Amino acid sequence: MEYLSEINKKRWYKLIDHPVQLELLNDDVRFKVVPAGRRSGKTERAKRYIIKQALKNPNEQYFVAAPTRDQVKKIYWNDLKKLMPESQKAKPPSETEFTLHFKNGTVIILIGLDKPERIEGTFWSGGIIDEIADIKEGAWEANISPALDTFNPSRPDYQAWCWLIGVPDGLNHYYDMANYAETSNDPQWKLYHWKSSEILPTKTIEAAKRRMSRKQYLQEYEASFETATGRAYEDYSKKNHTDKVYDPDRPIHWCHDFNYTPMSSAIVQEYGDVSYVVDEIILESAVARNAVMEFVQKYQHAKIKQVFLYGDAAGRAGEKHSQESSWSAIKDILFANNWIVIDKVPYSNMSIMDGQNSLRARILNAMDEVNFFVNPSICKYTDKGLSTTQLKEGSSFQEKDSQYQHITTALRYYTKVRFPLVQTYSTAKLMGI
C-alpha cells in the first residue's frame, strides 16, 4: 500500500509475535472473546487491527467502545490518530465526535457504553469493545448484539464482527461470554487467552506479584476468572498474627473511619516495609473529638510524637467554607498536645475496590509474602473484622455492614495511600516492546 512509506514508524513499533495473538489477527471468526493479562498487548493489537481494517476496506463504519466516553477517549483516541497515516485522512479527526474519516470513505467512531443505546441505529461493519467486563449487565443482549445484527438491505449477507476484550472481573457476564466462546462449539465465537507472563519481562511480573494479592494477580495478569469466596479478605489468617506491641520510639500511622458506630480507628507502626497493627480505638456513640482525646491520653508518653493521619475524605466537609471539619478538629487537638501531624487524608475518596486490593496485597501477595500483621490480643476488632467481613452476594467488592467492618475500612484508607497499586493500562506501548 502506497501509504506505508509515510506511516509513523515510531508509533508502529514491533510487537512480540505471540501465537495466540497471531490467531486472533488471522482467524475468520465473527465474535472474538479476548480475556488477556494486563499490559500484554491486547489493546494495542485492537488499535492496529481496526486501523488496518479501515485502510483496507472502503466505505465501512467501524466502532471502538469502552464503558464510558472518557475511558474510550483516554485509551484509544490519541493512539488511533497517530496510527492513521496522514495521507489517508479525508479531513482532520473530529475532536467533538471522536471520529476518524478515511479517504476511502471508511469511518471509525469512538463510543461510550455508559448509555448502551448509543451503539444502536447504525449499519456497523465491525468493532472493538474494551473493558467488556465493566459494561453494564445485559447491555450485550439488549443493545450491542441487536445493533451488530441490524439488517442492511444493501448488504443482506454481511454480518458485523466484534472483538470483546478485557480483564476478568469475577464470574460476571464476561465470564459467561468467555465460557460460551470456549465450550459452545458455535463457529461464530472463539476464545483467545494469554497471560502477561508470556509477554512481559520476568522482573515486571515479579514486581506485580509483590504489590498484588494472589487473587488479584491471577485475575489481572493471568486473566483468570476468579470467584469471590464471600470473605472480603480471604487470605487473612494466623500467618498475619503478631505479638508486637506499641513502640513509643516509633511514629504512629493512625487510620480512621468516621460517622459510624462504633467509631473505629487503628494504630499502625512500620518496620521497614512491613506494617503492624499494634492498637485500636473503638468508641460507641462518639465523634472525632472523643477519639482524638482518647489518643492523646493513650500516647501521652510517646518519645516520638509524630502521627500520620489516614481516613475518609468526607471528614473534610466544611473546610472550603472555613468551617471546622472532623479532620481539622483532630489536628487542632493534636497540635495543642505537641504532636507533629502529617496529613495523608485525600481530598476525594478512592474506589472501594482499589482500597481492598491494596490491603489484600499487604496481607498476602502473589509471591506468598506477608507484609501486614495484627496483634489479635490487643486489636480484637481488627482481627475480627479482617477474619469475618463478608462481600454482599453477587458483588466482587461491596461489603456487608457489620460492627467490625468499619475498622477494615479504616485500614484500607491507610494501605491505599501508603502502598498504592500502580495503575496499568493494556497498551503495549507501556511494556517497552
Domain match, 335 and 395 both = yes
Number of domains making up the chain: 2
Does residue 432 form part of some domain? no
Do strands 161-166 and 31-35 pair parallel, antiparallel, or not at all (unpaired)?
Answer: parallel
pLDDT category, 316, cuts 50, 70, 90? low
CB neighbours of residue 394 within 10 Å = 10
Three state DSSP letters for the chain: CHHHHHCCCCCCCCCCCCHHHHHHHHCCCCEEEEEECCCCCHHHHHHHHHHHHHHHCCCCEEEEEECCHHHHHHHHHHHHHHHCCHHHECCCCECCCCEEEECCCCEEEEEECCCHHHHCCCCCCEEEECCHHHCCCCHHHHHHHHHHCCCCCCCCCCCCEEEEEECCCCCCHHHHHHHHHHHCCCCCEEECCECHHHCCCHHHHHHHHHHCEHHHHHHHHCCCCCCCCCECCCCCCHHHECCCCCCCCCCEEEEEECCCCCEEEEEEEEECCEEEEEEEEEECCCCHHHHHHHHHHHCCCCCCCEEEEECCHHHHCCHHHCCCCHHHHHHHHHHHCCCEEEECCCCCCCCHHHHHHHHHHHHCECCCCCCEEECCCCCHHHHHHHHHCEECCCCCCCECCCCCHHHHHHHHHHHHHHCCCCCCCCCHHHHCC
The least confident of 21-25, 75-79, 148-152 is: 148-152
User: What's the pLDDT at 229?
Assistant: 65
Does 295 lie in the same domain as 146?
Answer: no
CA distance 190 to 181: 5
- Choose the final residue of a domain: 167, 191, 220: 220
pLDDT for position 320: 39
pLDDT at 141: 95
Q: Among 233-237, 259-263, 267-271, whose mean pLDDT is lowest?
A: 259-263
Q: Give yes or no: residues 247 and 374 share one domain.
A: yes
Predicted local distance difference test score (pLDDT) of residue 424: 40
Within this chain, do residues 176 and 310 fall inside the same structural domain, yes or no? Answer: no
Q: Is residue 227 part of a domain?
A: no
- pLDDT beyond 50 at 403: yes
For 325-334, what is the mean pLDDT?
87
pLDDT of the residue at 399: 85
Q: Mean of the pLDDT values across residues 2-23?
A: 78
CB contact at 8 A, 27 and 190: yes
The sheet carrying 252-257 orders its strands as 340-343, 306-310, 252-257, 263-271, 274-283, 372-374
Residue 2 scores a pLDDT above 70: no
Written in H, E and C, the secondary structure of 209-257 is HHHCEHHHHHHHHCCCCCCCCCECCCCCCHHHECCCCCCCCCCEEEEEE
What pLDDT was estimated at residue 119?
A: 96
Per-residue confidence (pLDDT) for residue 321, from 0 to 100: 35
Question: What pairs with residue 269 in β-bridges?
Answer: 276
Q: How far is CA 343 from CA 20, 256, 299, 412, 418, in A?
A: 48, 12, 18, 16, 12
The band of 353, judged by pLDDT with boundaries at 50, 70 and 90, is: confident
Range of the domain at 340: 238-418
CA dist., res. 43 & res. 115, Å (int): 22
* Residue 125 included in any domain: yes
Residues 63 and 194 in one domain: yes
Residue 323, pLDDT above cutoff 60? no
In a domain, 45, yes or no: yes
Model confidence at 171: pLDDT above 80: no
User: pLDDT band for position 315 (50/70/90)?
Assistant: low
The whole-number pLDDT of residue 213 equals 87
| Mean pLDDT, residues 267-274 taken together | 97
Which three three-digit cell numbers place residue 300? 501521652
Distance spanning both ends of the chain, measured CA to CA: 25
* Lowest mean pLDDT segment, chosen from 6-20, 182-196, 205-219: 6-20
Q: Which residue has the higher pLDDT, 2 or 25?
A: 25
- Among the ranges given (31-35, 167-171, 277-281, 331-335), the one the predictor scored with the smallest mean pLDDT: 167-171
| More confident of the two residues 159 and 327 | 159
| 261 plus 211 within the same structural domain | no
Q: Provide the pairing of β-strand 99-101 with 107-112.
A: antiparallel
User: Nearest CA to 94 among 106, 116, 77?
Assistant: 77
Residue pLDDT, tens place only, 108-142:
999 999 999 999 999 999 999 999 999 998 999 99
Residue 231: inside a domain:
no
Which residues are CB-neighbours of 247 under 8 A, at least 6 positions away?
Answer: 269, 278
Q: Which of 172, 188, 220 is the last residue of a domain?
A: 220
Contact 100, 52 (CB under 8 A): no
What CATH number does the domain containing 314 carry?
3.30.420.280
62 shares a domain with 197: yes
pLDDT in tens, 197-214: 999 999 999 999 998 988
Mean pLDDT (whole number) for 184-192: 96
State which amino acid sits at residue 134.
D
Give the predicted TM-score (pTM) of the model.
0.72
**Domain match, 263 and 185 both:** no
Check whether 361 has a pLDDT greater than 60.
yes
Which CATH number belongs to the domain containing residue 111 in this structure? 3.40.50.300
User: Is residue 264 domain-shared with residue 410, that is, in the same domain?
Assistant: yes
pLDDT value at residue 422:
59
**Mean pLDDT, range 310-329, rounded to an integer:** 64
168 and 268 co-located in one domain: no
- Lowest-pLDDT range of 44-53, 405-414, 421-430: 421-430
Q: Is the pLDDT of residue 184 over 70?
A: yes
pLDDT in tens, 65-96: 999 999 999 999 999 999 999 999 999 999 99
Q: Is the domain of 154 the same as that of 205?
A: yes
Average pLDDT over residues 422-433: 36
pLDDT at residue 426 above 70? no
User: How far is residue 40 CA from its own chain's centroid?
Assistant: 16
Stronger pLDDT, 11 or 60, i.e. the higher one: 60
Region 133-156: mean pLDDT is 92
Q: Quick check: 414 pLDDT over 80?
A: yes
In a domain, 390, yes or no: yes
Q: Identify whether 226 is part of a domain.
A: no
Burial call 29-64: b when 16+ CB within 10 Å, e when fewer: bbbbbbbbbbbbbbbbbbbbbbbebbbeeeebbbbb
In a domain, 433, yes or no: no
- Whether the ω angle into residue 262 lies within 30 degrees of 0, i.e. cis, is yes
199/294 same-domain check: no
Domain end residue (candidates: 220, 253, 285):
220
